[in-house]
Structure 1
């Protein structure tokens, strides 16, 4: 909804409409004067199954009429546009609204379903309110808009995140049973990032397996909390395939930067483990999305993401035994990869001329 309104607002202002302040967060109003007629747009964002009351609307209509009729316009035209993201009986209810062309304020009602990407105008309503219909239609058919708008309407099913939570926890439990997750020998045996093994024995698989090991319960708990916080949201946004690519690539990016710093530090030996690189990659992807859409990611705002990201990095650099390079590598990889995934998704949309589910 915020994505739609950002684009709609920009086009309306460029088309000569003036924004009229309202007291409600999800209600926007615009006005335009043409041949001494006043054209008003009242845009209502419907959330949490908000119901439209005929009685309440009549009160609002009367207030609007009294507010603007004193300026001496020939006619006042009011178009109410209801933005929704789910199917409802609103379309049928609005069939009862029949414009009274003899009234001083003539009102109309449209419904815009942001999920389906369509505009509902009943038979007794006009669809030629200035050029507003074509403006809405152009936004809904815009490929970049359709790509970004999906962020808020993906499935609630998160099997990949659930699997990652389970496998990380299971491996940690097994490590505790056979030795200790804080024991260096156990970590090396289970596939931790151990620089001598990679350099001299070419055990490159450790760059991958290290992502699933954790050193102590607190390390596991914090990472799994962060994984659920960001992973559950991003999997809904990206879908299972893109989300899996993002997670693994960010984890490998973190491991590579962590290992790479050892190559340039003569005599340095590194033993590291954890999903932190992958999780920082999720944070990087979430930052890109919130910055691109100018809206929160299912309740996680851009500001909160910056605080968590910089707070985590500052904590890491002021603490001991923290693989900061893995965090930075994962963060940068996640952010850059999200740009690539977004562009590739736009290309796929253009190629197939449809919304990718």
Structure 2
């Protein structure tokens, strides 16, 4: 007789738990140094346009652990726990960590690509200025290319997209009230992000294409992995 073993899902699997801890610690560091005149964590570790003097390659990763406020980190970490734990329990720690970081990187690359084309007209005007005027803009926070992007949203959107693909009929309660199947929730949310990204309204400081980049990367990875793993999820 074959032996049957039941493995109870871990409500806080190790990668999800440690990612949440790291994000919280970094957020506390941001609060500690937010008024510092000598240490600017945003300029050092948040993601900047490649035109900016503050851009550094390591920001493609480090921006994933920074957040712009309590509500920002709370909802990102809640979504990471809600969707990420299911993925980690299904895949294991190593595969989930690779997936999470790849989605964050994919989100950053798409965001930078879109930002590059958006900022090129601004940079053409900037390059036409005399050197002394250019110097006034180079490190100015008002200069659009110096605007920082931060947050785990891109990686979290990858988790959401994978969850919607692997567990399409699982019910998600939007605002804890409205029941909606995961597959429809993902499609509606992605469509909204695409529309808002194309609309590009003035005053909208959300990186919609970063969200889409994370989601697309997540779906691509799941499709590739599912070629050799034919298990079906609910």
TM-score, normalization: structure 2? 0.70
Structure 1 residues 233 and 313: CA distance shift in structure 2, 3 A: farther
1:287 paired residue number: 164
Q: In the alignment, is the contact (CA less than 8 A) between 2:104 and 2:214 conserved in 1?
A: yes
Measured in 1, the distance between the counterparts of 2:184 and 2:31 equals 38
Of 112, 115, 118, the match for 1:259? 112
Contact 1:286–1:297 (8 Å) recurs in 2: no
2:86 is aligned with 1:233: yes
User: Contact 1:154–1:236 at 8 Å: present in 2 too?
Assistant: no
Seen in structure 2, the aligned counterparts of structure 1 residues 227 and 334 have a Cα distance that, compared at 3 Å, is: same
Unaligned runs of 5+ in 2: 124-143, 174-180
Structure 1 gaps of 5+ residues are 1-90, 92-112, 118-151, 350-357
1:337 paired residue number: 221
Equivalent-residue separation in structure 1 for 2:205 and 2:43 (angstroms): 16
Equivalent runs, 1:128-167 vs 2, <5 Å: 155-156=9-10, 158-167=13-22
Aligned residue pair count: 194
| Helix, strand or coil at the partner of 2:92 | helix
Shift in alpha-carbon separation, 1:339–1:323, aligned structure 2, 3 A: same
When residues 309 and 202 of structure 1 are mapped into structure 2, their CA distance, relative to the original with a 3 A threshold, is closer
How many Å separate the matches in 1 of 2:4 and 2:153?
A: 37
Aligned twin of 2:46? 192
Higher relative contact order (CA 8 A, sep 6+): 2
What is the CA RMSD across the aligned residues, in angstroms? 3.5
Normalising by structure 1, report the TM-score. 0.47
Larger of the two Rg values belongs to structure: 1
Displacement of 1:205 after TM fit? 0.8
Instruction: Name the counterpart of 1:75.
Output: none
Decide which of 76, 86, 96 is 1:243's aligned counterpart. 96
Which protein is richer in strand relative to its size? 1
